[in-house]
Structure 1
């Protein structure tokens, strides 16, 4: 694999120069000690996947751009479709920061309370701003849900690229993909909550179905390309990769829904065990 460490550091420096605050403030925003940030920028320390994901989120770029130099460069995970882009380009970095603050608030409120329980005024209150400001970025209330889906898709893509780009072995990468999809408390459980609500609304809203389909295709293709790579490496069985992907993603969806719904006997641990057993039984070459 090409060593992109030096180029990655340079791209982080580039976005840091555009950041409206100090380098110390930038470090604090990504949850990093300023000294560690300096070491990462000079090459004596590597950025962690979580730090790269936060840098991308804070500056409005993608992890794929940070690591590989382009949003749509072929990488370990399938890139989001063009429909998975914000309806309003935030413009400069200051405006992008404001947009991100509003989107963060909407995303957390919808994940925690449910789409139909969140009003524009709730998001405005959370951000300490006016409803008019929210409407500037989200013209209609329905845009809140569609934008939080786009946000979840972008988060998942960034996280997968950050976590997987250094893993060459397809078997290890597939297991890591499964781990990244478990509805563990916090960020991942919130993402699952958003997806559940999108699934529900998509059944009744044809426009949302298009966005959902494109977004889900990205996840499907990431699994499929990992399985095909494993077959090329000789670690996965020569079974139809598309059929394996359909079954594995269906298992993830079904088990995840049962965990979030609190079905007795269904837990993240049991979900992890069932998915790993499927991978070992049906996908790994014996």
Structure 2
């Protein structure tokens, strides 16, 4: 694939110039030593996928824009459909920073406590602000759930673009996509918690069904295009890519739910093994 390192560095410099704080403060927020940030900006080291994802979150852009120069450019992962795209808050840098702080707090609270257990006052307390400020961005709890879903879609898309854009081999990329869907402790488990709640709410709330459908379509399309590329490379069987995608995503969903629900005998390690065996048995050409 085309080496986009120089272009990435320039785009990071562009967003950094608009950042209201110092470069050192920016480095701290993305969990990067200031010296390493300077080296990344001058080209003596590369930004890691995690760093690119965090930079995108903090600066109100997408990883796809940082790497490829546009939000909707065709890349290794399918872009979110229109209803699933986050508005990403106001354009002003300071206002955008406040919006992101509130969204981060709301997303984590919903993931950890459950949608129906989180009050606007809880989000305000975590952010050290007033309920009125929260209501400015999220007028009601339904708005909060909608944006947490959109945020999860954006996180997954950004992470996949950052992780996969340099992997040309479709088999390797598919295995990496599987790995990125395992509910390991931390961010991925929190994302799974959000998805479980959205599935439940969508079954009861027709207004959420379109958003849920568009959000899931992004993930489905990412798997399908990876399988098709593997078929073009001669690495995968000629079985219908849509059928393989339906089966693989259903398997991921079912196993993930069982792991989160704590079913005896279901673990991340077993989920990984079952999924890799399915890929090798049903998708890889032998």
- Is the structural similarity TM-score above 0.5? yes
Q: TM-score range by the shorter chain?
A: over 0.9
Distance in 2 between the 1:69 and 1:63 partners? Answer: 9
Q: Deviations over 1:207-232 (max 9, x none)?
A: 10000000000000000000000000
Work out the number of aligned pairs and report it: 286
Tell me the CA shift for residue 86 of structure 1. Answer: 3.5
Q: How does 1:1-286 map to 2 (within 5 A)?
A: 1-86=1-86, 89-286=89-286
Tell me the CA shift for residue 141 of structure 1. Answer: 1.3
Q: Deviations over 1:28-64 (max 9, x none)?
A: 0100000000000000000000000000000010000
SS at match of 1:249: helix
Tell me the CA shift for residue 168 of structure 1. Answer: 0.3
Asked whether the equivalents of residues 88 and 137 of structure 1 are also in contact (C-alpha less than 8 Å), the reply is no
Distance in 2 between the 1:85 and 1:175 partners? Answer: 26
Asked whether the equivalents of residues 99 and 137 of structure 1 are also in contact (C-alpha less than 8 Å), the reply is yes
Tell me the CA shift for residue 84 of structure 1. Answer: 1.8
Tell me the CA shift for residue 164 of structure 1. Answer: 0.2
RMSD over aligned Cα atoms: 0.8
Distance in 1 between the 2:89 and 2:127 partners? Answer: 20
Calculate the TM-score normalised by the size of structure 2: 0.99
Q: Quickly say closer, same or farther: Cα 1:57–1:161, change in 2 above 3 A.
A: same
Distance in 2 between the 1:102 and 1:89 partners? Answer: 10
Q: Deviations over 1:113-134 (max 9, x none)?
A: 0000000000011101111100
Calculate the TM-score normalised by the size of structure 1: 0.99
Runs of 4+ in 1 over 4 A off after TM superposition: none
Once structures 1 and 2 are overlaid, which stretch shifts more, 10-19 or 136-145? 136-145
Tell me the CA shift for residue 85 of structure 1. Answer: 2.9
